[in-house]
Structure 1
């Protein structure tokens, strides 16, 4: 029997593939966690463009990988227990699919399953500026219990390192799932801290 906690991580074609990759890297070091990865075709394009990373290198970071069109995958069913789903980064197309329950691929289906099972569902949108459709879709996902987490850095940490800004976002997201994110970000402790 598998006693590991399972987390689905999805990477879409929005800019910011580093968020999903960094999450996988952190969870790879956590023996009590099992990652299930699904990537859109545009996600692979951005992975190559932004990080010069190929599919095999990415897949090596995950415990289990799933094809984008594998609707018969275990993560497409609510009977497969997970802690939830993180879509990082989340394209506006995927946001719209999740907001409207349009399970057209395994990413939107896995998010739909997490929402219907009342499991934590975190979407990390990477788009700016936002139009009204984007905002309404974010509101819809929020009303269903999902969490919209735009990866905005906290400038009180006084860093100019992209890696530190990414780690902060990743650490705060993983913290929502109970993952020990010690060292990834410095929580605000007040002006005296």
Structure 2
């Protein structure tokens, strides 16, 4: 069964993670029924600052305004399977943990949690303070998955993109999509 996925991009540093995930989802479209994207204004500014471009505008996915509460995934009846917030700011995490649905990102996250579907938050901040940790605990206890943007180095990445892909590959695994990536202890 093909998956319906919401991708939210917040204004936290780490636009490379969102870019690489969206590029990979393009390659995996045969496994996807729909990909919907919500980007905050800050996310667009950070993308431009960090990556020096706006390639997100060329993606073949449907974009929704962060205040569009008529978006299909603002309701559980739309039956989206998974939501990924990448990168996820601590402010967004806190609003989700507090049940504050003040924009489409937090409303969609609330819907995903209430419907017992998969919510993946790629937290991009450090160090964590106790409030962050408690918010992560709350979201985890509600059924969400906290996937900090912490790369691995087993695959011996040599570029920034290769380092970031170690995180993106884990996210794709968590979504439940089939793809090729480095696997620990597998022969090359």
For the criterion TM > 0.5, the same-fold answer is yes
Picking from 85, 91, 97, the partner of 1:99 is 97
Asked whether the 8 Å contact 2:152–2:167 carries over to 1, the reply is no
Unmatched runs of 5 consecutive residues or more in structure 1: none
Aligned: 1:188 with 2:184: yes
Residue 13 of structure 2 aligns to a residue whose secondary structure is: coil
Determine which structure has greater relative contact order: mean sequence separation of CA pairs < 8 Å that are 6+ residues apart, divided by chain length.
2
Residue 121 of structure 1 aligns to a residue whose secondary structure is: strand
Residue 156 of structure 1 aligns to a residue whose secondary structure is: coil
Which consecutive aligned stretches of 4+ in structure 1 deviate over 6 angstroms post-superposition?
Answer: none
Corresponding residue for residue 31 of structure 2: 32
Once residues 57 and 178 of structure 2 are traced to their aligned partners in structure 1, the CA distance between those partners, rounded to angstroms, is 23
Asked whether the 8 Å contact 2:31–2:177 carries over to 1, the reply is no
Asked whether the 8 Å contact 2:16–2:161 carries over to 1, the reply is no
Task: Map 1:18-167; keep pairs closer than 5 Å.
Answer: 18-30=16-28, 31-33=30-32, 34-54=34-54, 57-167=55-165
| Superposition CA RMSD, Å | 1.6
TM-score normalised by length of structure 1: 0.90
Asked whether the 8 Å contact 2:149–2:167 carries over to 1, the reply is yes
Distance 1:16 1:62, change over 3 A: farther
Q: In the comparison of the two structures, how many residue pairs are matched?
A: 186
